[in-house]
Amino acid sequence: MKLYLRALLTLFVPFLASCSSLYFPPPPQVPLLTQKGEFSGGLHTNLDNNVSLQGAYAVGEHLGVMGSASFLHTDKKKRVLDHDFGEVGLGYYTRLSDRRVLEVYGGLGGGHSKRVERDAEKVTTRTLESGLTKYFLQVNYSSKDNSNVHVFGRDFPITYGTALRLSYLQLENFKLDNVPTIGEENVFIEPITYTRIQLVGPVQLQLISGSNFGLRQRKFLKAANSVFNFGVVVNIGGQEGKR
Helix, strand, coil percent values for the chain (each to nearest 5): 5, 60, 30
CA distance 67 to 107: 9
Mean pLDDT of the chain: 87
Q: φ and ψ at 83, to 5 degrees?
A: -140, 115
- 32-51 as b/e, with b when 16 or more CB fall inside 10 Å? bbbeeebbbbbebbbebebb
Q: What is the pTM of this model?
A: 0.85
Report the topology of domain 2-236.
Answer: Lipocalin (2.40.128)
Q: What is the pLDDT of residues 111-152, one digit of tens each?
A: 999 999 999 888 899 999 999 999 999 999 997 666 777 666
Q: What is the pLDDT of residues 184-224, one digit of tens each?
A: 999 999 999 999 998 888 999 999 999 899 999 999 999 88
**For the chain, which residues make up each domain, given as ranges?**
2-236
